[in-house]
Structure 1
Amino acid sequence: MIFDTIAAISSPLGTGAISVIRISGDKTKKLIEDIFGINNPEPKKMYYGWVKENNEIIDEVTWVYHKGPRSYTGEDMLEIFGHGGILVTKKILNLIISKGLREALPGEFSKRAVMNKKMDLVKAEAINELIHANSDYALKAAANQMEGKLSEQINNFKKELFNIAARIEVEMDYPEDFEVDNFEFLNSLNNIREELYYLYENADNGISAIEGIKMAIVGKPNAGKSTLLNALLRKDRAIVTDIPGTTRDTIEESLNIRGILIRTIDTAGIRETEDVVEKIGVERSLKAIEESKLILFVLDNSTGVEDYDIEIYEKIKHYNDKEIIIVINKSDINNEDKFDIPWNHDVVKISAATGRIKELEDKIFDKLKDSVITNELTLTNERQKNAVKKAIDSISKAIEGIQLGLTNDAIMFDVRKAIEGLNELTGEDYTETLLDNIFGNFCVGK
């Protein structure tokens, strides 16, 4: 399959000004000759022409030929720009497929670019993250990785490790002529480990910027949790009634507060219940709390703090790694004299029903902004984080081996394992399964 010539629609399906069809593979020039009648197209030049089938016009188009290896995939490529209609675009694609080409799989163009060393895996993932970015912080994190400075830094680490491995190997082959300076190796390995550990420790910021931060809305039944979710989303997503227990399961929605992607979970009211369905909802609510970074603990201003509220707080206070904001809802009801909060957390008064939530949004941003700040050397997904951890662990073993006076072949083994970890990060040591898993999440045509 890797040697097939592939084709796909690269623009979104729908009615628009222009559609794009992309072709890559060794049959590209033959396709150009068959469709446009040009034998030797000039690379990077925009051509104008007609796409016809059985002498009947399908569309009026422009097209560009990219000669490999100076193309996105490293192969001969063709990009056709036609009118942006669903039917006309599909008719052109069907005509192309009928010439002996295969429709591309999701992400197959980018996969070929990695396999042909036109880009590394880090940049390929950054391209996909850039396309799917739905917050300013996600966009910045993806753009930083696309710039290539992270890849450059990783390649520098690999060069240093290769240099260490080579010098150890020379000493092993010619022990009488060369003597390895283990102290110098220790310094180099410690410096690389320190830099990699910085990447590893700050990876969660990049992952949070791309994937979003989980925030749970919790409280007793009828405190106004679903109304608050609807207010934050600026739309009616959750069913709101005066009947306690209306929300019986968790509802997850994404929202954007000042460039931060937040995966907001409206939980079922946490209470003791004999209702089987509601009980499952409560269990899921507790799991959502456990997975969230921020908890909005909603209290009902009309009732004051009740036993229900105290029971819920007892369940959430043990999560020391969670930020908690106490949200007093229905603050348009005057009840100041009987509302005493016994807990030491930030308190925000809102009226979810009237949409008075700006102060709460400000507080949410303040609590989460430091968790999504990234720089040009930030990892952005768990795969990258795990690969770096593998390299760190191997370098640590090599350092320990030198300190314990182990043989050079043992130290060499760990240094090479560290290089393998970094190769996994950039995609130099890949498996078909790994690439399929990664690029299966890409758009078709990218």
Structure 2
Amino acid sequence: MIFDTIAAISSPLGTGAISVIRITGNKTKKLIKELFDNEKTEPKKMYYGWIKDKDEIIDEVTWVYHKGPKSYTGEDMLEIFGHGGVLVTKKILNLILSKNIREALPGEFSKRAVMNKKMDLVKAEAINELIHANSDYALKAAANQMEGKLSEKIQDLKKDLFTIAARIEVEMDYPEDFEVDNFEFLNSLNKVKDELIYLYENADNGITAIEGIKMAIVGKPNAGKSTLLNALLRKDRAIVTDIPGTTRDTIEESLSIRGILIKSIDTAGIRETEDVVEKIGVERSLKAIEESKLILFVLDNSTGIEDYDIEVYEKLKEFSYKDIIIVINKSDIKNRVNFNVPWKDYDIVKISASNGDIRNLEELIYDKLKNTVITNEYTLTNERQKNAVKKAIDSVSKAIEGINLGLTNDAIMFDVRKTIEGLNELTGEDYTETLLDNIFGNFCVGK
């Protein structure tokens, strides 16, 4: 399939100023001649012309030819820029597909770029993460990956491992001419291990920056949880009424607080109930709490502490290892009783969600989460990368252990090679079709 020619709409399909269609493969130059009757096309130069189907004019366009291997995919490529209408764009694509050219699969352009060594898998994933970034920290983490600092670090580690492997190989072939320097091997392998452990231990920051942080809003029915979610979102997402138990299932929405992506979950009121539907909502609420890093425990200032609040608190005690903020809502309403929060181990903040008075809460949320998304110039950004690094750590640890136990060079060489394989898996130098299909299947068509 790598030898066929593919095409796809690369711009969002809809009404707009410009649409973009990309073509890549060995039939690209032939297609240019058929579409534009142009035989002397210079690469990287923009041309103007008309696209016609026989004698019927379809659109007035500009186009650029990229000669392989100096292109995104490493193959001959054509980019056509037309008017951004749904019908006209589809007509151009259908005309191209009628020339014995196949419609591209999701991410197939980037997949070809990896297979043709134009970029590694880390950078390809970063492109997709950059496209889908919806917070400042996600954008920064993806941009760092695209810049290539992580790829450079991995290549440096592989050079060190290849040097070690070469030394071991020579000593295996000429045991009488070389004396084994175990200290030098151990020193080099420990440096590689330390670098990999640093990457692994800081991976969650990069992953969190990309994927966001889960935050559960919990409390008794009618404490104002849904109103608080709406206030954080700056829009009406959850239904708000004075009837307790209106929210009977969890509602998840994404929001950004000072550049941090937060997946906020409005939970059903946690209480004992015989209602079958509400009971399912309570179970899902407890699951949301378990999966969240931060919990907002909402109390109702107008009622004071009630048995329901104590019931919720008893449930939260099981999750005391998580960050918990006690939010006293409806602070604009005078409470009927002396309001005294007995739980002093957590941060307490007063708000009025219905009035949008939540600035102090947003600042506290940011302070709680800001250190979980700090990304340096090279950071892992997904679980696949993290798992590959873990494999490399396990293998280099076995190599170090083997030297300390006095194992033979061939046993140590096996683990050094497995370490290199783990890093190759990270960058995509050792790939399978299944791996690439799984990764690029989540990409946009045309990218």
Counterpart of 1:68 in 2: which secondary structure?
Answer: coil
SS of corresponding position for 1:244: coil
Q: Is the 8 A contact 1:107 1:444 kept in 2?
A: yes
Q: How far apart, CA to CA, are the structure 2 residues paired with 1:265 and 1:438? A: 28
Note if 1:438 corresponds to 2:423: no
Q: Which residue matches 2:327?
A: 327
SS at structure 2 position matched to 1:218: strand
Q: Give distance in 2, aligned partners of 1:356 and 1:366.
A: 18
Query: Aligned with 2:378: secondary structure?
Result: coil
Partner of 1:382: 383
Paired residues in the alignment total 446
The letter for the 1-side match of 2:348 is: V
**Cα distance between partner residues in 1 of 2:330 and 2:265:** 20
Task: Kindly indicate whether the alpha-carbon contact (under 8 Å) linking 1:252 and 1:266 is maintained by their aligned counterparts in 2.
Answer: yes
Q: Distance in 1 between matches of 2:285 and 2:350?
A: 23
In the TM superposition, what is the alpha-carbon distance from 1:398 to its structure 2 partner?
Answer: 0.7
**What letter matches 1:84 in structure 2?**
G
Q: Distance in 1 between matches of 2:180 and 2:426?
A: 29
- 1: distance between equivalents of 2:181 and 2:444? 50
- Matching residue's letter, 2:346: H
Structure 2 residue aligned with 1:368: 369
After TM superposition, the structure 1 = structure 2 runs for residues 16-165 of structure 1, keeping only pairs within 5 Å, are: 16-165=16-165
Q: 1:17 Cα shift?
A: 1.1
Alignment-derived partner of residue 186 in structure 2: 186
Deviation at 1:310, TM superposition (A): 1.6
Rounded to whole Å, the distance in 1 between the matches of 2:180 and 2:251 is 61
Tell me, which stretches of 5 or more residues in structure 1 are unaligned?
none
Query: Which residue of structure 2 lines up, in the alignment, with residue 350 of structure 1?
Result: 351
Decide whether the 8 Å contact of 2:303 with 2:336 is kept in 1: no
For residue 252 of structure 1, what is the aligned residue in structure 2?
252
**Residues 126-185 of structure 1, C-alpha deviations (whole Å, 9 max, x = no match):** 111111111001000000111001100000101111111121111112211222211101
One-letter amino acid of the counterpart of residue 425, structure 1: L
* 3-state DSSP of counterpart to 1:297: strand
Amino acid in structure 1 at the alignment position of 2:207 = I
Q: Report if aligned partners of 1:45, 1:64 keep a CA contact under 8 Å in 2.
A: yes
Letter in 1 for 2:429: E
**How much does 1:190 deviate?**
0.6
Report how far residue 259 of structure 1 moved. Answer: 0.7
2-structure distance, mates of 1:280, 1:191: 51
Q: Which amino acid aligns with 1:187?
A: N
**Could you say what secondary structure the match of 2:327 adopts?**
strand
Q: What CA distance in whole angstroms lies between the structure 1 residues aligned with 2:362 and 2:49?
A: 54
Distance 2:94 2:321 in 1: 54
Question: Deviations 1:383-428 (Å, cap 9, x if unpaired)?
Answer: 1111111101111111111101111111111111111110011000
Distance 1:66 1:135 in 2: 33
1:353-396 deviation line (CA, Å, top 9, x unaligned): 11111111111111111111101111111111111111011111
CA distance in 2, matches of 1:54, 1:29: 19
Paired position in structure 2 for 1:292 = 292
CA contact (8 A) 1:59 1:83 kept: yes
The whole-number CA distance in structure 1 between the counterparts of 2:393 and 2:135 is 31
Instruction: Indicate if the aligned counterparts of 1:293 and 1:321 stay in contact, CA closer than 8 A.
Output: no
Q: Which moved more, 1:233-242 or 1:57-66?
A: 233-242
Deviation string, structure 1 residues 86-127 (Cα, Å, up to 9, x no partner)? 111111100000000000011000000000000000000111
TM score, norm. by length of structure 1: 0.98
Contact 1:218 1:297 in 2 (8 A): yes
Alignment-mate amino acid for residue 238 of structure 2: A
Distance 2:265 2:179 in 1: 61
Q: Alpha-carbon deviation of 1:237?
A: 1.0
Q: Distance in 1 between matches of 2:150 and 2:387?
A: 16
One-letter amino acid matched to 1:349: K
| 1:336/1:168 CA distance change after superposition, 3 Å | farther
Give structure 1 regions of 4+ aligned residues with deviation exceeding 2 angstroms.
Answer: 317-321
The residue that corresponds to 2:409 in the other structure is 408
One-letter identity of the residue aligned with 1:87: L
Aligned with 2:318: secondary structure?
Answer: coil
Question: Counterpart of 1:237?
Answer: 237
**Match in the other structure for 1:279:** 279
1-structure distance, mates of 2:407, 2:219 = 58
Deviation at 1:315, TM superposition (A): 1.6
Q: Indicate conservation of the 8 Å contact 2:302/2:336, yes or no.
A: no
Query: Alpha-carbon deviation of 1:336?
Result: 8.5
SS of equivalent to 2:72: coil
Report how far residue 319 of structure 1 moved.
Answer: 2.2
Q: Do the aligned residues in 1 keep the contact of 2:135 with 2:259 (CA within 8 Å)?
A: yes
Q: Is the 8 A contact 1:206 1:372 kept in 2?
A: yes
State the distance in 1 between where 2:229 and 2:212 align.
16
Match in the other structure for 2:306: 306
- TM-aligned CA deviation for residue 251 of structure 1: 0.6
SS across alignment from 2:172? helix
Give the percent of matched residue pairs that are identical in Structure 1 and Structure 2.
85
* Greater CA drift, 319-328 or 91-100: 319-328
Work out whether 1:268 is the aligned partner of 2:268.
yes
SS at match of 1:288: helix
The residue identity in structure 2 corresponding to 1:421 is: G
- Tell me, in whole angstroms, the C-alpha distance in 2 between the residues paired with 1:300 and 1:360: 15
Alpha-carbon separation, structure 2, partners of 1:405 and 1:274: 66
CA distance in 2, matches of 1:212, 1:271: 29
3-state SS of 1:178 partner = coil
- C-alpha distance after superposition, 1:225-267 (max 9, x if no partner): 1111111111111111222221111110001111111000001
- Output the aligned Cα RMSD: 1.0
For residues 208 and 281 of structure 1, the distance between their equivalents in structure 2, rounded to whole angstroms, comes to 27
2:181 & 2:281 partners in 1: Cα distance?
62
**Cα distance in 2 for residues equivalent to 1:95 and 1:179:** 69
What secondary structure does 2:402 align onto? helix
Provide the C-alpha distance between the structure 1 equivalents of 2:71 and 2:168, rounded to a whole number of angstroms.
Answer: 40
Counterpart in 1 of 2:394?
Answer: 393
CA positional deviation for 1:320 = 4.0
Q: Contact 2:396/2:419 (CA < 8 Å) preserved in 1?
A: yes
The AA in structure 2 aligned to 1:14 is G
CA–CA separation in structure 1 for the residues paired with 2:337 and 2:164: 72
Whether contact under 8 Å (2:219, 2:312) holds in the other structure is yes
What's the offset of the Cα at 1:337? 6.0
